[in-house]
A and B are shown apart, each in its own frame.
Chain A
């Protein structure tokens, strides 16, 4: 019972906070909820209620991440993002939409969006994606070796070592660990894993992803003292030293 009682708010202490986020959403209640919830984990949030003022704010302000509703009054979300991109503004943008077909997602990403989340969504899912987006604009892509504590992954030779000891992984397990390590210190949800490691965008209804993660965990933690692959209650997983 004690375990279950912490479920709905998830383990929000796992999140980093401290980002400057612009939420462009016309639904007052949804916007207020996002503002409050993002504030609670330590982010600074500005809200715009239509596409035009959102565009002006996004273009002038130095935001870390934009959260953009796809259907907005005055100017729709996709045109807003495309407009920003054409002005050289590369602020990472998460598109929120009620349209959830594969081609809707494709159009959204083609317009310059960096991630796409279908409404209704769980706040933990949104939060995880927003935090990952910020890091994406960093320079993780050029690093050839990822290190988290005594865990080491060589992206070129595909060799994984824990405390200098080689760990043998299946190709998919390697990709799973690579994704987790790229976003070390950040919460990664099950859908994010299915999207990024398997390249499928449907909802993993059963525990398929969890089983993959626990297999991986077995390989990188078995025989070692400290856990590195943590389960974040109500949200997903996080790779973190200690």
Chain B
């Protein structure tokens, strides 16, 4: 339980609520202090006004009836109940009239408003009404309870002193009430914050725990696992969703990588085995330098073939994994078609195949000239190979470019045996050499490379029937080929 609580305290939610609580409390305290000091000042101002009025009334009585009238009025008012204080002394300091029995020393020495509240004792009360005198600030005089008051002191020309004051008990009580309310409020607030902190923090903690558990499972090897999404659409859900998308992407890449390594293993082991067998067979030959030489030559030729295969696999894999960083520029498909046709024309003629170019209209796409050129070369190379094998009359290979329906098609039509419809899909798979082509030389990677190049260019490789022969089309979305 405590460990759990400790964990709760460490959560972000708990830390945030603690911070909020602190800030809120500081603000509340500031506000209360401001309010009390403001209202205190207002109360003191009111008291001073009252005292001023009293003093004015006394002054009028003095003007009307002189000193006697003044003393009489003061005596009269002193007997009335209320919070007002009155005092008049003769020049020697003897009390002539008033309701004040004793004062803090020094209060009467200076004329004008008393600088600060002072202690006093009312006439005829010494301890009987001690409840109000509990203020420790006023208990300066040990003899009895003192009250706090503020007063206006007036020195008459004949050195007599008149003082009018008012008890400060009321504002003092007000301040006490406010303070108590403040303490209670802060207490309730803190308790509330603690509760919210505890429950909110725990709820957040539980969700984070679930996310942690799920990620641990995923790290443990279950790459198909996903983080929980509760459907509330809050920050946690958004976080989980984003992480899940990341996991899916990683899984895809991982799958691609696995497939690549599987393929490489399979595709290279076969020729490596052949290479090894040949070397082993050479050891069993009679020791003849010429035989050895021929064997080594074949081994080198085999290695070169292996290197070519390896390069092609690497290239296909990089293109398929979308990790290729080849430069994309605007390329002219007609130029590529013409270049490749020109490159292969003599070789085609050599094997009795006519190579024609059929470009009705130019087309530019965004892409990589080298990749498109290489893909087209592979297709043309295949076309010549299979057309030459067909051997019936005029064998022809046509390289063409057609633009229609927002697509640019770079196509090669041969007059070979073609590929039966049900086998066309397989023909572009890696290393698939269809049954009737076993006798032809080749790695079986030509069409797969072309397909990978087309995928890289966001296009596709179409195989269809040319009646007779095969029509292979590299289909580009016109205008923009690749990313």
Complex interface residues of chain A between 198 and 237 (CB less than 8 A to chain B): 198, 200-203, 205-208, 211-212, 215
Max count, chain B CB within 10 A of own CB: residue among A101, A198, A200: A101
Main secondary structure of the interface of B (DSSP, over half): helix
Q: Is the CB of A101 within 8 A of B347?
A: no
**Cβ of B294: which chain A residues have Cβ within 8 Å of it?**
1, 4-5
- Is B159 at the interface (CB under 8 A from chain A)? no
**Cβ of B307: which chain A residues have Cβ within 8 Å of it?**
120
Nearest-neighbour CB distance to chain A for B329, whole angstroms, equals 11
**How many angstroms between the C-alpha atoms of A34 and B54 in the bound complex?**
120
Complex interface residues of chain B between 366 and 399 (CB less than 8 A to chain A): 368, 370-371, 373-374, 377, 381
Complex interface residues of chain B between 315 and 367 (CB less than 8 A to chain A): 315, 318, 324-327, 339, 342-344, 346-347, 349-350
- Is B269 at the interface (CB under 8 A from chain A)? no
Max count, chain A CB within 10 A of own CB: residue among B300, B304, B370: B370
Q: Is the CB of A102 within 8 A of B371?
A: yes
**Cβ of A1: which chain B residues have Cβ within 8 Å of it?**
290, 294
**How many angstroms between the C-alpha atoms of A119 and B313 in the bound complex?**
15
Q: Which of B297, B339, B381 contacts A198 (CB 8 A)?
A: B339
Q: Is the CB of B297 within 8 A of A202?
A: no
Q: Is the CB of A208 within 8 A of B346?
A: yes
Complex interface residues of chain A between 107 and 165 (CB less than 8 A to chain B): 118, 120, 122
Q: Given A1-B294, A8-B300, A103-B325, are A206 and B371 neighbors across the interface (CB < 8 Å)?
A: no
Q: Is the CB of A203 within 8 A of B339?
A: no
Q: Given A1-B290, A203-B308, A206-B381, are A211 and B297 neighbors across the interface (CB < 8 Å)?
A: no
**How many angstroms between the C-alpha atoms of A173 and B299 in the bound complex?**
34
Q: Which of A4, A122, A200, A215 contacts B373 (CB 8 A)?
A: A200
For the complex, count residues of B whose C-beta is within 8 A of A: 33
**Cβ of A198: which chain B residues have Cβ within 8 Å of it?**
339, 343
Q: Is the CB of A200 within 8 A of B326?
A: no
- Is B104 at the interface (CB under 8 A from chain A)? no
Task: Indicate with 1 or 0, residue by residue over A1-15, a CB within 8 angstroms of chain B CB atoms.
Answer: 100110110000000
Nearest-neighbour CB distance to chain B for A163, whole angstroms, equals 25
- Is B111 at the interface (CB under 8 A from chain A)? no
- Is B276 at the interface (CB under 8 A from chain A)? no
**Cβ of A211: which chain B residues have Cβ within 8 Å of it?**
346-347, 349-350
Nearest-neighbour CB distance to chain B for A226, whole angstroms, equals 24
Residue of A nearest to B291 (CB): A1
Nearest-neighbour CB distance to chain B for A193, whole angstroms, equals 11
- Is B296 at the interface (CB under 8 A from chain A)? yes
**Cβ of A100: which chain B residues have Cβ within 8 Å of it?**
311, 314
- Is B293 at the interface (CB under 8 A from chain A)? yes
- Is A172 at the interface (CB under 8 A from chain B)? yes
Q: Which of B325, B326, B327, B374 contacts A202 (CB 8 A)?
A: B374
**Cβ of A101: which chain B residues have Cβ within 8 Å of it?**
315, 318, 324-326
**Cβ of B325: which chain A residues have Cβ within 8 Å of it?**
101, 103
**Cβ of B308: which chain A residues have Cβ within 8 Å of it?**
203, 205
Residue of A nearest to B308 (CB): A203
Task: Indicate with 1 or 0, residue by residue over B281-304, a CB within 8 angstroms of chain A CB atoms.
Answer: 000000000100110110010011
Max count, chain B CB within 10 A of own CB: residue among A4, A118, A206: A206
Q: Which of A7, A122, A215 contacts B346 (CB 8 A)?
A: A215
- Is A106 at the interface (CB under 8 A from chain B)? yes
Q: Is the CB of A103 within 8 A of B327?
A: yes
**Cβ of B339: which chain A residues have Cβ within 8 Å of it?**
198, 200
**Cβ of B377: which chain A residues have Cβ within 8 Å of it?**
200, 202
**How many angstroms between the C-alpha atoms of A205 and B443 in the bound complex?**
10
**Cβ of A5: which chain B residues have Cβ within 8 Å of it?**
290, 293-294
**How many angstroms between the C-alpha atoms of A212 and B346 in the bound complex?**
6
**How many angstroms between the C-alpha atoms of A100 and B347 in the bound complex?**
27
Nearest-neighbour CB distance to chain A for B223, whole angstroms, equals 29
**Cβ of A208: which chain B residues have Cβ within 8 Å of it?**
343-344, 346-347
**How many angstroms between the C-alpha atoms of A91 and B325 in the bound complex?**
30
Q: Is the CB of B311 within 8 A of A8?
A: no
Q: Is the CB of B347 within 8 A of A207?
A: yes
Task: Indicate with 1 or 0, residue by residue over A73-107, a CB within 8 angstroms of chain B CB atoms.
Answer: 00000000000000000000000000011110010
Max count, chain A CB within 10 A of own CB: residue among B308, B339, B343, B344: B343
Beyond A102-B370, A120-B303, list 13 extra A-B contacts (CB 8 Å).
Answer: A4-B297, A5-B290, A8-B297, A100-B314, A101-B318, A103-B325, A106-B327, A118-B311, A205-B308, A207-B347, A208-B343, A208-B344, A211-B350
Nearest 3 A/B pairs, CB to CB: A211-B346, A202-B374, A208-B347
Chain B interface (Cβ < 8 Å from any Cβ of A): 290, 293-294, 296-297, 300, 303-304, 307-308, 311, 314-315, 318, 324-327, 339, 342-344, 346-347, 349-350, 368, 370-371, 373-374, 377, 381
